[in-house]
Amino acid sequence: MSVVVILALGTKKLAVGITMSAFLLLFLEYAAKWVFGLLTLCSDAQIAIKSLIPKVFPFL
């Protein structure tokens, strides 16, 4: 009986891990599209990067 409980808990952790990694990949894809969208909107990418750095690192 305890083997079934251990397998069930392991399966649950595996499912949670897969779900979390899928959401993380979706978030990274969205963030990358947003950053590259900012860079392509400006004619000069250097200006976009300089304006992006204070937004990303406000405490530096």
* DSSP state string for the chain: -HHHHHHHHHHHHHHHHHHHHHHHHHHHHHHHHHHHHHHHHSS-HHHHHHHHHHHH-TT-
Q: What is the pLDDT of residues 15-60, one digit of tens each?
A: 888 899 999 999 999 888 888 776 666 566 667 677 777 777 776 5
pTM: 0.52
Compute the distance between CA of residue 43 and CA of residue 3 in angstroms, rounded to an integer: 62
- Residue 25: the pLDDT is 94
- Residue 52: the pLDDT is 74
More confident residue, 17 or 4: 17
The sign of the dihedral angle between the CA atoms of 53, 56, 57, 59 is positive
Q: What is the pLDDT of residues 22-34, one digit of tens each?
A: 999 999 998 888 8
Mean pLDDT along residues 4-17: 78
